[in-house]
Amino acid sequence: MLMQKIKHLVLGITGGIAAYKAAELTRLLVRNGITVQIVMTDAACHFITPATMQALSGRTVHTKMWDASIPNGMPHIELSREADAILVAPASADFLAKLVHGNADDLLSTLCLARNCPLLVAPAMNKQMWESPATKRNVAQLLKDGVMIMGPDSGEQACGEFGLGRMLEPEILFNDLLSNLNAELPTRPLAGKQILITAGPTIEKIDPVRAITNLSSGKMGYSIAEAAIDMGAEVTLVSGPTFLTAPPSAKFVSVETASEMLNAVMENITNKDIFISVAAVADYRPASQSVEKIKKNKSSLNIELIPNVDILGEVAALSNAPFCVGFAAESENLLAYAEEKRQSKNIPLIVANIANEALGANESTLTLLDDNGTYPLPKSSKSKSARTLLTHIANML
């Protein structure tokens, strides 16, 4: 059994298809000696039954404000006072808005308002709902209010769309919960660290409508940014064009070209402790850009390409360089090419992966290479891989 500070958790469940994940999370918590008190909204009961959650938690599930089984008739007080923490998973967009405005129109929202313990939420919603200005404002305010935001993850959604908004998987939530709340564990190993991360592709224009780019989605870089914030770091994220939403508490710089990314990095690198170069930066750009659209004809088209500046190399060569981490996406001779890149840039750590398996995917298979050896990681979600990578970096530091 785990040695732990947290003994009793109130698990709130709101309406959403991700409610089924609360069952597995409850099972993990109970298996590790944590008592779980389930509180469900009316909407949650449409997705998973109180009977199921009672069977898994071994405790009465509460759904109503006016509960005669509570001796003093005040479940919003009684249930919160014995809790070491409250976790709402899934937390719908509506429930996040309730928390921001202090609405207390059902048992779970009233309980959260009346709490005297930490509150954590695991958002789950459609990607447009997560990316809406209203939700962004609500998340930013919750962070200011001291509420811990866990996720969301990116991937295929129940509606058939793809993007940020998926609730974190139960195992990740379980591990993050313990890491955030247990004094015996290294809770925030990057606390006080300043990290600059690059992410996504770059675009090098040929003419007003054509460009050279690559298939990077930015998911790995954004996952690292989110995990770094969870682990206590202050993050600056410099990103090429993606469809992802930057973590609300990160300083975000949007760029398109490799030259713009270089300038943004050099403008923000001062006093950074760690630089993680995840972006798939174009190695070459057109020597010149046509101001007019190049017309199609039957003859061949030759475009002269010239090399872009190596951003990671420029940062690593600084006299006061931060701890530099590179990424090597290769199609063959993975470890040999990655180690060659690490040595040539004189950096302490490089992350290797197979390009055609990693670009655009939700999962990754990474190998870490440093002076002490090679560390292959199992295939897992990019969110989990990001946390493993950052833990390795924290240990090296």
User: Residue 267 phi/psi, 5° resolution?
Assistant: -75, -20
Q: Among 189, 195, 159, which Cα is nearest to 278's?
A: 195
Which residue among the candidates 45, 112, 117, 159 is catalytic per the annotation?
Answer: 159
Question: Cα–Cα–Cα angle for 319, 317, 260, nearest 5°?
Answer: 110
Tokens of 52: 């199921």
Question: First vs last Cα of the chain: how many Å apart?
Answer: 30
Q: Cα 31 to the chain's mean position, in Å? A: 26
Determine if residue 152 is left, alpha or beta; phi over 0 gives left, psi from -120 to 50 gives alpha, anything else beta. Answer: beta
Q: Give the burial class of 360: count Cβ atoms within 10 A of its Cβ; 0-12 exposed, 13-18 middle, 19 or more buried.
A: exposed
Q: Among 121, 45, 122, 34, which Cα is nearest to 82's?
A: 34
Facing residues of 326 across strands?
A: 277, 350
According to the 3-state scheme, what is the secondary structure of 104-139? CCCHHHHHHHCCCCCEEEEECCCHHHHHCHHHHHHH
Q: Name residues whose C-beta falls within 8 Å of residue 226's C-beta, 6 or more positions apart in sequence.
A: 151, 247, 383, 386
Q: Name residues whose C-beta falls within 8 Å of residue 62's C-beta, 6 or more positions apart in sequence.
A: 37, 38, 39, 40, 75, 79, 107
159 is catalytic: yes
Q: Which residues are catalytic?
A: 159
